[in-house]
Amino acid sequence: MVQLAEKTRLFQGNGTFPTPIPQTDCSSRDVQMFLEKIVEQPSLHAKFLNTISLLEHMGSRKILVSQSHSRTSESVLQHAAEEARHAYFFKKKIRLVDPSVRLQYQKEDLFQGERSAIYFQRLDALVKRNLSKEPEFDKQKKSRLNYLYTTILIEIRAFDFYHLYNQVLESKFIGFHLNGIIKEEEGHLSEMIASLNLEDPRFESRLEGFLIKEGKFFRNLFRTWKSSIKE
């Protein structure tokens, strides 16, 4: 049975599971160095925050669109509400790092916005494709599992990434932290793990396959992010 443990690369010494697949060119140190460059430039940081806000907003919207039906549970509503609040949180912090800008979700207001959104869409498509090969799942079950798997992949990555981002925000004295967000993402992750343990007998092997692909998608995105800040 997959259990929630200390999941991130920060704690990888414990050999716990699940964890993002480590990539040679986007190690914790690479991500940290990238984030340090980002936060040192207020206009760039503002766009980066706006992009994270967009991804959180997409998450919330996707939950509401795909999981709205007569059996919509309290936990689904809570999850969508919290992701919407995360989108608002990151949007609001833009004013703190660069009071001169008012950013919308337009191309010029984002940091590699299109590529970042594609990362999200690719995960969704990957899960959809995999589940479509399961004849025993009906439409509603597929939609539910799609929500759970897409979310768990994003949560594992977000949990890892937000920890690193939080450390950089603290070390560079940026004036805000992500402790509350990290706690909520951890709550979502526990919930997805508990639900998938119950709802998919092939959870562990399916997740393992998905994590390998997610690692590739994130590495591609990270390369694009990194290349766009090279001097």
Which residues here bind Fe ion, judged by CB under 5 A?
56, 83, 86, 185, 188
Give me Rg for the CA atoms of the chain. 17
Show the 3-state SS of 132-172. Answer: HCCCCCCHHHHHHHHHHHHHHHHHHHHHHHHHHHHHHHHHC
Please identify, using beta-carbon distances, which residue of 60 and 130 lies nearer to Fe ion: 60
d(CA 67, CA 108): 31
In the complex, the smallest distance separating the C-beta of residue 184 from Fe ion, rounded to whole angstroms, is: 6
Please identify, using beta-carbon distances, which residue of 137 and 176 lies nearer to Fe ion: 176
In the complex, the smallest distance separating the C-beta of residue 227 from Fe ion, rounded to whole angstroms, is: 26
User: Cα separations (Å) of 30 from 35, 94, 110, 210?
Assistant: 9, 24, 21, 23
In the complex, the smallest distance separating the C-beta of residue 159 from Fe ion, rounded to whole angstroms, is: 9
Q: Torsions phi, psi of 195, nearest 5? A: -65, -45
In the complex, the smallest distance separating the C-beta of residue 148 from Fe ion, rounded to whole angstroms, is: 12
Neighbours of 114 (CB within 10 A): 9
Q: Residue type at 42?
A: P
Please identify, using beta-carbon distances, which residue of 26 and 189 lies nearer to Fe ion: 189
The total number of residues written for the chain in this structure? 231
d(CA 202, CA 16): 19
In the complex, the smallest distance separating the C-beta of residue 78 from Fe ion, rounded to whole angstroms, is: 10
**Six-digit token string for 218:** 């994130």
In the complex, the smallest distance separating the C-beta of residue 231 from Fe ion, rounded to whole angstroms, is: 31
Please identify, using beta-carbon distances, which residue of 37 and 61 lies nearer to Fe ion: 61
Q: Torsions phi, psi of 229, nearest 5? A: -115, 10
Please identify, using beta-carbon distances, which residue of 92 and 202 lies nearer to Fe ion: 92
Please identify, using beta-carbon distances, which residue of 177 and 202 lies nearer to Fe ion: 177
